[in-house]
Amino acid sequence: MAKPTKTNPTSSTPTPAQDAKSADLEQNREYGHGEFLTSNQGLRVNDDQNSLKGGERGPTLLEDFLLREKITHFDHERIPERVVHARGAGAHGYFEAFDNASQYSRAHFLQPGVRTPVFTRFSTVAGFRGSTDLARDVRGFAVKFYTQEGIYDFVGNNIPVFFIQDAIKFPDLVHAVKPEPHNEIPQAASAHDTFWDFISVNPEAMHMIMWVMSDRAIPRSYRMMEGFNVHTWRLIDAEGKSRFVKFHWKPKLGIKSVAWDEALQISGKDPDFHRRDLFENIEAGNFPEWELGVQVVEQEDEFKFGFDLLDATKIIPEELVPVTIIGRLVLNRNPDNYFAETEQVAFHPGHIVPGIDFTNDPLLQGRLFSYTDTQLTRLGSPNFHEIPINRSIAPIHNNQRDGHMRQQINVGKFSYGPNLLNDNTPKQAKQSEGGFASHQERVDGHKIRARSKSFVDHYSQARLFWNSQADIEKVHIIKALRFELGKVEAESVRQRMLLQLSLVADELATRVAQGLGLEVPSAEGVQLNYSVGADTDPAPLQSKPATGNESKSDALSIENHPLNANKSIETKQVAILATDGADGAAIAALTKALQAQGATAKLVAPHLGQLKVSGGVALTIDFSLQTTASVLFDGVYVVGDGQVLSQQHDAVHFVNEAFRHCKPVAATAAGQALLSEAAYGGAKNILTSTGVSIGDGSHAQFLADLAFGRFWTRELESEPKV
């Protein structure tokens, strides 16, 4: 019988020849279409609708092996979710090295022109698997490279620093941020007592807090985030020379975020917003792309910075060490099955290949233990590397044996080495044969539980971040902290946080305090840092406030980031708000103009079904006002009858909200009446604002506004001075 083919192949489905990993997965794909239903033992099933009973109305018989098999399998369908990063979305793609990569690393996947299949998983951190995509949170950015030398995992985040400096603190951090244990509230949110209590006594978190309170923590799309591998790593070149490196993923679409109020709305209107955005864009052929950048530091320059390269709460400012681009990542295929691939994929920062090595960053060192360990609970067996999505395309030969769910059938009687009876194979590989050998670093010291003094400054880079923000970004950080600390019930925690913020920047602390109705306390004589051992004097570990340090870095801002200099409307979504009788030619022209530049138009109307536009044409409506919301779009264009729409609360709300979220809003002359009706805060007529236009035939102003992005001046103008 001919093998059934996939019934709905998409444009993004590569042929096996294009992608070695896809070919590898093909042996596990099951299509089912057109086949007989069978049991798990291959038996064709005759009746899957009725259980086996003693008489039509009698009890079900224990003999019913088909019932038992089906129910038993169902009963065991769930596995434990990830303890962190539980909610995610995955995609297949490839990485391509540029010609300059090999000067830094001997890794095969970094040699000129080599294309390596990858699987990438993006995630939120704190929320459970079923939580919302738009939580204020760090985003995971993990990439599994199926290299010819084995698996290399890049297990990073969209923020380049972390909350803590030492892995031993990780369980406390996670316990503090997860829902409080007595009532499991709140879900996917850091705005509660335990998180801020922990932060307020751990000043090493202050730099990370600045990032998490910024718009980086509410991305517009997984496709529009940077990625970082946080720690300093080592790259080893062909001569064996080691250099320090920080890795960056730079998104081709720039860095984009949503407004906080918008994030809250999206969480209700479409909690799968980021997952859907990734999936739909890949299906549509809008393949997301990032460039891989490296900041390389020569071994001899290790101590030339005012911070320690081994401290994961520090960046290397791009002004000090520029980022060199060495390759690109393209995601071009959706998973066939969420559970089999996205849920079962298992990343590990310890999965490395020759040409990459670790540093002594104490956060990284602890991670090297954690990731295999956690898979044993989550995936249930040391054989998780055999699950198809985790399987290396480089062959595996070793003397590890057995365990739950073992798939490999090791032939022969030898499972040990060295041996003579099996020609001493599988044999060790020399480095010249691709064998991995750790970088030989001289290590010398006392066995000691302590934090290096070089890790003490917790405020300078937090302040650098604050200084680097555009005015609107500062306002967003202040509002985020007012929200988060406003949800904290213990006033002592609010007070301590204000104190910590005052050591970053007075203006920041004062404005947050105003929102909380509190005064900023004095830091005089207060113990700031509780992250010390019982016999350790905390005084030398009190980091000094960074006042006076006024340096800036554009790469820390979204608004001023060089990646956002190129304005484009590519992959943006526009809602065309229309009514029956609307100008069909205007809709067609606008749709065409948007599509020509890579954007998408969706028709939104008061009802679903067909829209009867001028010229007797009927158009299919994508959404009714009840099934969508303006928060799901990047811009709104009113083409319908503005008089009719202004009578409908949902339509007025649609425009008001888009305006409030600082998005481009436009109308044809016929639709203008809706814009006149919409008013921000009940006061201001939006027609006079920036980013609001009345379209002529070309819609040029709207297209320019859409490319510009957000008109944050509207928010700045409306900002109460307190």
Task: Summarize as ranges the residues that interact with ligand HDE (CB under 6 A).
Answer: 82-85, 88, 121, 123, 140, 142, 155-157, 162, 167, 170, 229-230, 345-347, 363, 366-367, 370-371, 374
Nearest alpha-carbon partner for 403 in 371, 370, 376, 372: 376
Residue among 80 and 609 whose Cβ is closer to ligand HDE: 80
DSSP label at residue 52: -
DSSP label at residue 332: E
Residue among 227 and 317 whose Cβ is closer to ligand HDE: 227
Residue among 123 and 495 whose Cβ is closer to ligand HDE: 123
Q: How many CA atoms, within 13 angstroms, populate the side-chain half-sphere of residue 412?
A: 11
Shortest distance in whole angstroms from residue 373 CB to ligand HDE: 7
Shortest distance in whole angstroms from residue 86 CB to ligand HDE: 8
Residue among 161 and 258 whose Cβ is closer to ligand HDE: 161
Token look-up 């297949």 returns: 92
Q: How far is CA 200 from CA 173, 194, 203, 250, 579, in A?
A: 12, 10, 7, 32, 53
Shortest distance in whole angstroms from residue 146 CB to ligand HDE: 16
To which H or E segment does residue 718 belong?
Answer: helix 713-718
* Residue tagged active-site, from 8, 33, 73, 85: 85
HEC string of 124-140? ECCCCCCCCCCCCCCEE
Shortest distance in whole angstroms from residue 174 CB to ligand HDE: 8
Q: Six-digit token pair at 230?
A: 């946080």
To which H or E segment does residue 142 belong?
Answer: strand 139-147
Contact 662/711 with Cβ under 8 angstroms? yes
Q: How far apart are CA 617 and CA 578, in angstroms?
A: 14
Shortest distance in whole angstroms from residue 175 CB to ligand HDE: 13
Residue among 368 and 475 whose Cβ is closer to ligand HDE: 368
Question: ∠679-262-477 over CA atoms, to 5°?
Answer: 105
Q: Where are the alpha helices (DSSP H) in 469-609?
A: 471-486, 491-502, 506-516, 584-596
Residue among 82 and 351 whose Cβ is closer to ligand HDE: 82
Contact 55/29 with Cβ under 8 angstroms? no
Contact 636/629 with Cβ under 8 angstroms? no
Active site residue 157: yes
Shortest distance in whole angstroms from residue 90 CB to ligand HDE: 8
Q: How far apart are CA 226 and CA 391, in angstroms?
A: 27
Residue among 366 and 434 whose Cβ is closer to ligand HDE: 366
Active site residue 286: no
Residue among 98 and 279 whose Cβ is closer to ligand HDE: 279
Q: How far apart are CA 19 and CA 694, in angstroms?
A: 48
Q: How far apart are CA 305 and CA 103, in angstroms?
A: 24
Shortest distance in whole angstroms from residue 466 CB to ligand HDE: 22
Contact 603/622 with Cβ under 8 angstroms? yes
The maximal CA–CA distance of the chain, rounded, in angstroms, is: 90
Q: How far is CA 632 from CA 470, 661, 664, in A?
A: 25, 11, 13
**SS3 of 611, please?**
strand
> How are beta strands 115-124 and 88-97 bridged, if at all?
antiparallel
Q: How far apart are CA 500 and CA 485, in angstroms?
A: 13
Nearest alpha-carbon partner for 260 in 502, 486, 494: 486
To which H or E segment does residue 243 belong?
Answer: strand 242-251
Shortest distance in whole angstroms from residue 224 CB to ligand HDE: 17
Shortest distance in whole angstroms from residue 233 CB to ligand HDE: 10
Residue among 50 and 360 whose Cβ is closer to ligand HDE: 360
* Residue tagged active-site, from 108, 157, 348, 390: 157
Token look-up 């791009």 returns: 318
Contact 631/604 with Cβ under 8 angstroms? no
Shortest distance in whole angstroms from residue 64 CB to ligand HDE: 38
Residue among 156 and 640 whose Cβ is closer to ligand HDE: 156
C-alpha 433 chain-centroid distance = 37
* Nearest residue relative to ligand HDE (C-beta): 140
Q: How far apart are CA 623 and CA 627, in angstroms?
A: 6
291 strand-pairing partners = 250, 328
Q: Which residues are catalytic?
A: 85, 157
